[in-house]
Structure 1
Amino acid sequence: MARSKEYDENAVLHKAMQLFWEQGYEKTSMADLVEHMGIHRRSLYDTFSDKHALFLKAMDRYGEIMDRNLETGIKKAETADQAIRFIFKYTIDKTDNTPTGCLFVNAAVELGARDAVTDAKAITGFAKEEQLLASIIQWGQQNDEFSTDYDAQDLAASMQNTLLGLRVLARTSISKEKLYDRAAIFMKILKK
């Protein structure tokens, strides 16, 4: 008879995600994972197969959380302008007790050039966010909140680049004020 798990798989996956997000893939050892997740090494292998498989599941978990958090904040916005400002605020101010930056950005920088599966997951995450941004920008253009001088998809790609840069800078000692200055420049582009 198989033993039942003595832990919540989603809870330990969340812990692994946070550790990979904070330390990166290479720096995170199996011993680190076992300690941080609070499970036995054998349980980790039985449930997640290996470190790489666990990392990919952690990336999926991260994507689900970001999608849910962004969707929740955007639904509260009454205007496209408010939705875009929420995304910048969420990116810069993160107050949900998670590491700074972005797991997809970290994974792409660390592993993208040599791990096709990780690269594909990061690119998919970026593309999904870009489509979300394009839909919000289109909403703003239709309501005369944003300029129509540029195509919504082009503006979304530019905003995506701005957000990626902000996520990298958020891991440094640059002040939030400077990060907000960069976001304000993009808002001016939208409004022209």
Structure 2
Amino acid sequence: MARSKEFDIDDVLLKAMTIFWQQGYEKTSMQDLVAGMGIHKRSMYDTFGDKHTLYIKALERFASIQSSRLEARVEGVDSAAAAIRLLFEATIHRNDAEPKGCMLVNTAVELSGYDPEAAARANEAFEDTEALIERLVRHGQASGEISSRHTARALAASLHNALIGLRVMVKTVKDKDKLEMIMNTTLEMLE
């Protein structure tokens, strides 16, 4: 008779996600994961496979959580420009209980040069965020709230690029006024 799991799979996956988010893939050892997840090494291998498979699952979970948060943040906001501003503000005024920055950005910087699977997962999530921004821009252009001098696609790509840059900056810049100045200047392209 097979033994049942003595831990909640979702809970330990979230713990692994946080460890990878804080430390990155290369710096995280199997011992870090076993200790941080609170499970035996054998259980980790049996449940998640190897370290890379666990990382990809954690990255997918992060992407799913991030996507849900972004969608929820803009849901019901009538103003497209205000909704886009909320996406930027969420990056600046993040939950201090979470690691700084973005696991997707960290993955793109750390692994994309030699790990096509991790790069593909990060790019998929980036494309989803850019598509959300593009929908908001299109809505704002249709209502006349956002300038149409650039295509919605071009604006979305530029805004997303700036958002990724902001996600990097929040890791090192403590001056919220500076981050808000960057955000405000970036959002002027909507006018």
TM range (shorter): over 0.9
Structure 1 runs of 4+ off > 2 angstroms? none
Unaligned runs of 5+ in 1: none
1:62 corresponds in structure 2 to 62
Q: Which residue of 2 aligns with 1:25?
A: 25
Q: CA deviation at 1:178?
A: 0.9
> 1:156 deviation in Å?
0.5
Question: Structure 2 regions of 5+ residues with no counterpart?
Answer: none
Show the counterpart of 1:12.
12
CA distance in 1, matches of 2:149, 2:186: 14
Once the two structures are superposed, residues 17-70 of structure 1 have per-residue CA deviations (whole angstroms, 9 ceiling, x without a partner) of 011011100111000001111111110000000100000000100011011111
Structure 1 CA distance, aligned partners of 2:70 and 2:96? 13
Q: TM-score by structure 2 length?
A: 0.97
Alignment partner of 1:99 is 2:99: yes
Distance (whole Å) between structure 2 residues aligned to residue 190 and residue 40 of structure 1:
52
Report % sequence identity. 46
CA drift of 1:96 comes to: 6.3
Q: Secondary structure at the match of 2:148?
A: coil
User: Cα deviation per residue 1:74-101 (whole Å; 9 max; x = unaligned)?
Assistant: 1131211221111011111112621111
1-structure distance, mates of 2:77, 2:166: 22
Alpha-carbon distance between aligned partners in 2 of 1:124 and 1:160, rounded to the nearest angstrom:
13
CA distance in 1, matches of 2:84, 2:26: 34
SS at match of 2:75: helix
Corresponding residue for 1:37? 37
Aligned counterparts of 1:74 and 1:111: Cα–Cα separation in 2: 30
Partners in 2 of 1:80 and 1:28 — Cα distance? Answer: 40
Per-residue CA shift, 1:113-134, capped at 9, x if unaligned? 0011011111111111111110
1 CA distance for matches of 2:41 and 2:99? Answer: 24
| Structure 2 equivalent of residue 116 of structure 1 | 116
Letter in 2 for 1:17: M
| Equivalent residue number for residue 172 of structure 1 | 172
Q: d(CA) in 2 for partners of 1:169 and 1:95? A: 15
- SS of the aligned residue for 2:129 comes to helix
CA–CA separation in structure 2 for the residues paired with 1:175 and 1:104: 23
What is the CA–CA distance in structure 1 between the aligned matches of 2:148 and 2:96, rounded to whole Å?
35
Secondary structure at the aligned position of 1:139 is classed as: helix
Query: Are residues 186 and 173 of structure 1, via their aligned partners in 2, closer, same or farther at CA, if it must alter by over 3 Å?
Result: closer
Question: How far does residue 173 in structure 1 lie from its aligned partner after superposition?
Answer: 3.1
- RMSD between superposed Cα atoms in Å: 1.0
Q: Quick one: which amino acid aligns to residue 57 of structure 2?
A: K
Which runs of structure 2 are paired with 1:102-181 in the superposition (5 Å)? Answer: 102-181=102-181
Instruction: Tell me which residue corresponds to 1:182.
Output: 182
Cα distance in 2 for residues equivalent to 1:130 and 1:148: 18
Give the letter for the 2:32 counterpart: D
- The amino acid of 1:15's aligned partner reads K
The aligned counterpart of 2:3 is 3
